[in-house]
């Protein structure tokens, strides 16, 4: 039996990025939180903590929202790509493939994950501002789309590709010169960026690429940042891309694809108000249609690369509460068995999150606490001065919207193993990534003979 809720878990069924909680979140008759039909405290007991939990329904709903929005709002062909950097695994790659997505990847690891999950090579796009020779060769040999980011990419490909080899299918990335009101570290569209060709070098690069028999340039790419709540910059991007498209066609490149990147924000806390997926896609689609029409251009295939807005809301991280420290008149700390190694975003970006005590979601007796991680860093704080139901040692804490950039940015700081991940749905939980063990961290250590006591 599910009790009446004092508030709406689901704020926007059609656009998961506008929700803090997974779409399957419910409270049972004992006030305990379930996701995907699974009791979260049971998952913590069964699989241990910290534990990443992903709700399959929310994840798939995000994919469907993008597919539906593109079909509804854009008159030309389209292909949404999942940005693997948000969270990469065999299961995640398999799910997005089954939902009609391609993938963008930025490393050999992400690339082989996509390939081993069965994603077709023509639907994989390989990014990166400093690709290695090995990475470029693997991408070329597997006939994936290579997004050239700089002259170094071109020079390396010119040396790697054999004279009689097949042509490399390329997309060219350039900086569009558009800034957004987002964190400094995640703005990638302004001119002072490590990513992409500068606009004033675009024409020369397009001409240069015509001189290589191995080069088959079929697309252009630009990206303006991430966790963006504004629509106007995306509308402006359409005109910049259409100008570049016109120039590339005039030079003789058979450009079929335009990739507008990603960047749509999500709702981490109650004050966040991101646009819906449909509104974001509609803005880009109408902007591209208008820009192409005014320049007498055929509509290209429209690509976009959402990551955070696909997977973040489906994720929740579970922790066990341990020690407690009260500083009278100042602050109360409660510590959990994870922290900056499984979620580096608060210490890196000062990111804010929403949390709960999973078996006392509606608790009336609340207290102001700071949730600290267990790492040897004073800044290892997940939540500062946060109002939570009163919790005790052993209670399970849940932090929402951790599906993106938590596992993918995790580390072994303090030699702490990385958490497991479970996928939940219809009352079933499947382990999709094993928990590291402390002894796993010794696997790649080597103790030379001279350090071994031979007495």
Exposure of 325 by Cβ count < 10 A (0-12 exposed, 13-18 middle, 19+ buried)? exposed
CA-to-CA distance for 51 and 419, rounded, in angstroms? 5
Active site residue 304: no
CB atoms closer than 10 angstroms to residue 29: 8
* Cis peptide bond prior to 50, omega within 30° of 0: yes
Report the C-alpha gap between 395 and 336 in whole angstroms.
Answer: 10
> Is residue 169 within a helix (H) or strand (E), and if so which, with residue range?
strand 168-173
245 contacts 221 by C-beta, under 8 angstroms: no
Residues 170 and 216: beta-carbon distance below 8 Å: yes
d(CA 14, CA 432): 26
User: Most distant CA pair in the chain: distance in Å?
Assistant: 83
Nearest to 19 by CA among 312, 340, 298: 312
Of the candidates 38, 304, 356, 376, the residue annotated as catalytic is 376
**Lookup: tokens for 439:** 């002894």
Using left for φ > 0, alpha for ψ between -120 and 50, and beta otherwise, residue 212 falls in beta
Report helix, strand or coil for 11. Answer: coil
Strands 428-433 and 420-425, by their bridges, are: antiparallel
| Residue the block writes with tokens 């949404």 | 80
Q: Rounded to whole angstroms, how far apart are CA atoms 196 and 225?
A: 13
Answer for the pair 411, 341: CB distance below 8 angstroms, yes or no. yes
Please report which helix (H) or strand (E) contains residue 235, including its range.
Answer: helix 232-251
CB 148 within 8 A of CB 127: no
For residue 60, which phi and psi values (nearest 5 degrees)?
A: -65, -35
| The two three-digit tokens of residue 351, written as one number | 């990111």
Q: CA 387 from chain center: how many Å?
A: 28
Catalytic positions, written as ranges? 376
């Amino acid at each position: 039996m599910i009790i009446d809720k004092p508030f709406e878990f689901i704020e926007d069924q059609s656009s998961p990025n506008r929700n803090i909680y997974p779409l399957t979140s419910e409270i049972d008759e004992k006030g305990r939180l379930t996701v995907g039909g699974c009791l979260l405290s049971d998952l913590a007991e069964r699989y241990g903590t910290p534990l990443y939990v992903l709700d399959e329904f929310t994840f798939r709903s995000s994919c469907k929202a993008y597919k539906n929005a593109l079909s509804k709002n854009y008159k030309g062909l389209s292909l949404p790509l999942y940005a693997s950097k948000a969270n990469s695994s065999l299961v995640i790659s398999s799910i997005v493939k089954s939902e009609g997505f391609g993938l963008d990847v930025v490393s050999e690891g992400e690339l082989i994950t996509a390939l081993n999950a069965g994603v077709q090579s023509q639907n994989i796009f390989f990014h990166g501002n400093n690709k290695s020779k090995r990475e470029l060769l693997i991408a070329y040999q597997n006939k994936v789309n290579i997004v050239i980011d700089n002259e170094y990419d071109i020079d390396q490909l010119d040396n790697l590709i054999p004279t009689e080899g097949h042509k490399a299918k390329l997309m060219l990335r350039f900086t569009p010169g558009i800034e957004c009101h987002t964190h400094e570290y995640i703005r990638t569209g302004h001119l002072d960026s490590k990513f992409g060709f500068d606009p004033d070098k675009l024409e020369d690069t397009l001409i240069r690429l015509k001189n290589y028999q191995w080069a088959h340039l079929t697309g252009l790419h630009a990206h303006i940042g991430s966790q963006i709540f504004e629509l106007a910059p995306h509308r402006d991007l359409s005109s910049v891309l259409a100008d570049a498209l016109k120039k590339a066609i005039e030079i003789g490149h058979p450009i079929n694809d335009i990739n507008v990147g990603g960047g749509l924000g999500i709702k981490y806390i109650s004050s966040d108000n991101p646009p819906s997926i449909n509104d974001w896609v509609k803005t880009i689609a109408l902007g591209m249609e208008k820009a192409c029409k005014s320049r007498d251009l055929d509509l290209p295939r429209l690509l976009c690369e959402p990551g955070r807005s696909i997977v973040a809301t489906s994720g929740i991280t579970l922790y066990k509460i341990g020690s407690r420290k009260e500083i009278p008149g100042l602050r109360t700390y409660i510590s959990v068995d994870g922290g900056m190694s499984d979620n580096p975003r608060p210490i890196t970006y000062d990111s804010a999150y929403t949390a709960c005590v999973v078996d006392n979601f509606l608790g009336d007796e609340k207290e102001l606490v700071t949730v600290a991680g267990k790492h040897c860093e004073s800044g290892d704080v997940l939540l500062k001065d946060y109002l939570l139901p009163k919790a005790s040692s052993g209670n399970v804490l849940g932090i929402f919207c951790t599906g993106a950039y938590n596992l993918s940015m995790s580390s072994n700081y303090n030699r702490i193993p990385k958490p497991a991940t479970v996928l939940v749905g219809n009352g079933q939980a499947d382990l999709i990534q094993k928990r590291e063990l402390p002894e796993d961290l010794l696997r790649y250590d080597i103790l030379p003979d001279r350090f071994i006591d031979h007495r």
